[in-house]
Amino acid sequence: RDNQKRFLDSVEYAATVNVSFKIPIGTLKGIACVAVPFCENSVISEYTNEELKGISSNGKTLVNVGLHEGAAREIIGKSNEEIFSFVKGELLKVCPPLKGNASLLENHDLERWPAAMPKFSQRFVDEAIRFWQRGQGENGVYLAGDMTGCPWVEGAIYSGKKVAKLIEGSI
């Protein structure tokens, strides 16, 4: 139990706000996902074209926008309209097919995530390694998910497979 507590105490989460806009199908032709380095834009961290996943309705699809943590923390308490307006302005700066054409973006949805994704600091990585060696399965408790050392959904799946093998091996 002590190893599990030590590991869980090392987990810190980044905040973000995810914002979705409706856009005409074909607007982002050939673009799947764009990571935006902080040095290029301190607000937008990434955007994705949902058209490539087959998501569309009435001639429109979605562009989903994720924010860098600092910007997210600054605007997370603002109204939906303030967030949509602010993010739209920033997206127009970083997405070449949208530059100068705000009329293509229609507000759709947004989600505030005060604790969205684990931060992979050196302390966290060291504790994750230690946890997998000495804490995983302690007292019959196993942990899986992106917070156990691998990011995103893929990391959660990977850790789930590792935990399943550990449990299978202990039976």
Spell out the residues 6+ positions from residue 10 whose beta carbon is closer than 8 angstroms to its own.
123, 124, 127, 128
Closest CA to 149 of 6, 2, 10: 10
For 55-94, letters b (16+ CB in 10 Å) and e give eeeeebbbbbbbbbbebbeebeeeeeeebbebbbebbbeb
State mean pLDDT over 83-99.
Answer: 96
CA dist list (Å): 29 to 26, 48, 58, 109, 160: 5, 12, 17, 22, 35
41 three-state secondary structure? coil
Asked if pLDDT for residue 9 goes beyond 80, the answer is yes
Specify the pLDDT at position 45.
Answer: 95
pTM score, two decimals?
A: 0.76
- The Cα 112–Cα 117 span in angstroms is 12
Considering the chain, what percentage of its residues have pLDDT values greater than 90? 56
**Contact (Cβ atoms closer than 8 angstroms) between residue 60 and residue 23:** yes
* 34-72 tens-digit pLDDT: 999 999 999 999 999 999 888 888 999 999 999 999 999
Asked if pLDDT for residue 128 goes beyond 80, the answer is yes
Specify the pLDDT at position 12.
Answer: 86
- The Cα 67–Cα 83 span in angstroms is 11
Instruction: Kindly report which listed range (47-51, 84-88, 115-119) carries the lowest average pLDDT score.
Output: 115-119
CA dist list (Å): 20 to 48, 78, 130: 9, 16, 38
State mean pLDDT over 125-139.
Answer: 88
- The Cα 87–Cα 109 span in angstroms is 12
Specify the pLDDT at position 8.
Answer: 85
State mean pLDDT over 75-83.
Answer: 98
**Contact (Cβ atoms closer than 8 angstroms) between residue 55 and residue 61:** yes
